[in-house]
Structure 1
Amino acid sequence: CLPDEAKVILKSLASKWKNVLDPNALEVIPLKGAMTNEVFQIKWQTIEGEMSRKVLVRIYGEGTNIFFDRANEIRTFEFISKNGQGPRLLGRFAQGRVEEFIRARTLSAPDLRDPTISALIASKMKEFHDLEMPGSKNVYLWDRLRNWLSEARRLSSPEEVETFRLDIMDKEISLLEKELSVSLKRIGFCHNDLQYGNIMLDEVTNSVTDYEYASYNPIAYDIANHFTEMAANYHTETPHVLDFSKYPGMESEQFMFEKY
């Protein structure tokens, strides 16, 4: 299930680790929870016996490039990892990459409503927003919405265009851009996809993962998106349906603002 390019990188990495018994004897374990990629834990037996060396392989989902710029995502990943905000990049191949394996657990939907975890997310979000990324600092939100709308129209039938009102949505985007660009003036480097599956809880790093959608945007948008993600549960038969009874109340929002 792993591309040959990935296997070459993995064997090269393992051969440099003196405690690995056999660089060719790797164990591949599929991991659940990823939305757009296939993710695997890779293990090698070590001379210590029960101990093992581990890395993570991420294989990009087919067709996901219509949602984000993969080259930009890689640059973001490299920069953020150098700034201690996530796993280290260990290797790249055409269809994916090899990352440091973080010994942590991915959050679940209910975790987002835990005050202790919410406080950690708020502080991590602040660190993220304060990052000085190289390159353009232009807001990308509106162009991204228009790009997605264009792709949705291309893939939809005339009936679907009418049902989902795709023919008028560009006007709504322009209206929102005009109205909100005046008030949302604080721009920062935003994650843009801070849902529970992209947050790994580690007592040392409290890592945030998966930077595919990261870009400069109004920080208020990033916070609002996180609140909306609290209404989502991607591990149901209807992952696209939001349950707004789970949306945080004013007290929970204020708590997070204070921790931010």
Structure 2
Amino acid sequence: MVDEEIDLFLNDFDKNQFKKDVEFLLEKIDFVKNQKFEIKKPELGLTNKTYFLKFEKINKILILRIDGENTEFYIDRKFEKIAVDFLSKNNFSAKIYLKFRNGLICGFIPGKDLKTFEMIEPKMAGKIAKRLAQLHSLKIDQIPEISSRKPFIVDKMFLYFEKAPKKFTNEKLQKEFENYFVKNGVDLDKNVEELVKMMEKCRPLFAIGHNDLVVGNLLYDESTDMLNFIDYEYVDLNYRQADIGNFFMGVVEISTNANYDAGYDSEGKRRFLKDYLEEFGTETDDLEREIDVWMSEIPVFEAASHLLWSFWSLFQAEHSSIDFDYIGYAIHRHQMYLKQLPTSFQ
């Protein structure tokens, strides 16, 4: 595990200084020290800025991540380092080579970003289900830093709700917020309360979860037939049902008018759960009945996913410099929460 953190706050506003600072960081990594490199433009992301570092004389690519502004208020970066080290040792994540004050440099995992139509195709869906089951099967009992934590979906629901601004400094954003949340009499406290009560009725099936399996975070390498998850910054203990429910809502492109019906239909979800439960080694005399129970619980966590990322997006609207309609996204996810929330749950 990388214990030392380089005392450097990196930004990319001044390109010349940025290149010098990256050179300084790479001098700390022995196998790329003194190597000429190229910085490729950042990939699209809604939390951080990510760059590819390509080296001239060695066949190696590294990933440079600059943490988004104020993300330390809702992402536990210290825990992320512990968890990613554990995942790296178990072949689930790229190795972190270096940490600096507001980011890291890690290894590169090859593969093609999977699009919605590819992820819902039965054969690929089966690969995803099995890989997720393998992740959830990792033994964390002997790692108290992970096993003792509160489930992500509950803990972060309260945290993101607390951090979400009630008033925005930007007048345009404030007006957009009021036009939906205030004029429609949205009671966010009640939303959280009723959702947490529903989650508490679900089986406490806890495991280490990715918690951000969305378009862009699943890669398939055709040459090795390997399916990998990337970007584990939200990794944490969680309900297994929550990680799956979030994934079901994450297979569509992130936008302010995303069509969540374009993802898995009921039959596709059942097939996914069958592959997942078989790979996980679920002990049951009646697999179809077990799938029925999962299908009754998953909608609760799909609704929770919508509400969680709605709160997250409200925070981002106030604090992020990334060009994205966070308010519009927060509104859309809240609308989907209302649509997805079960009318009754026993």
Change in Cα spacing, 1:27 to 1:45, as seen in structure 2 (3 Å) is: same
**Quick one: distance in 2 between partners of 1:111 and 1:154?**
39
Q: 2:109 corresponds to which residue?
A: 102
Q: Provide structure 2 residue ranges, at least 5 long, that are not aligned to the other structure.
A: 1-11, 13-17, 169-173, 277-346
Q: 1:10 corresponds to which residue?
A: 26
Q: 1:217 corresponds to which residue?
A: 238
What amino acid maps onto 1:9 in structure 2?
Answer: L
Q: 1:169 corresponds to which residue?
A: 188
CA offset digits 1:34-74 (Å, max 9, x no partner): 3312111112222xxxx633211111112222332122222
Q: Residues 6-155 of structure 1: matches in 2 within 5 Å?
A: 6-13=22-29, 16=31, 23-46=34-57, 52-133=59-140, 134=143, 135=145, 136-155=148-167
**Quick one: distance in 2 between partners of 1:217 and 1:26?**
39
What amino acid maps onto 2:59 in structure 1?
Answer: S
What amino acid maps onto 2:213 in structure 1?
Answer: L
> 1:29: how far off?
0.8
What amino acid maps onto 2:31 in structure 1?
Answer: K
What amino acid maps onto 1:149 in structure 2?
Answer: F
Counterpart selection for 1:183 from 199, 202, 205: 202
> 1:140: how far off?
3.0
Counterpart selection for 1:227 from 241, 244, 248: 248
Change in Cα spacing, 1:71 to 1:162, as seen in structure 2 (3 Å) is: farther
**Quick one: distance in 2 between partners of 1:109 and 1:248?**
9
CA offset digits 1:177-234 (Å, max 9, x no partner): 223212232112121111021112123642211112222221111111111112x313
Moved more, 64-73 or 165-174: 165-174
**Quick one: distance in 1 between partners of 2:187 and 2:72?**
25
SS for the counterpart of 2:60 is: strand
Change in Cα spacing, 1:137 to 1:63, as seen in structure 2 (3 Å) is: closer
CA offset digits 1:87-146 (Å, max 9, x no partner): 111111112111112222222233222222211111111112122342214323223112
Give the TM-score normalised by the residue count of structure 2.
0.64
> 1:10: how far off?
1.5
Change in Cα spacing, 1:162 to 1:44, as seen in structure 2 (3 Å) is: closer
> 1:250: how far off?
1.6
SS for the counterpart of 2:38 is: strand
**Quick one: distance in 2 between partners of 1:103 and 1:168?**
44
What amino acid maps onto 1:127 in structure 2?
Answer: Q
> 1:5: how far off?
5.1
Larger proportion of helix: 2
SS for the counterpart of 1:71 is: helix
**Quick one: distance in 2 between partners of 1:24 and 1:189?**
37
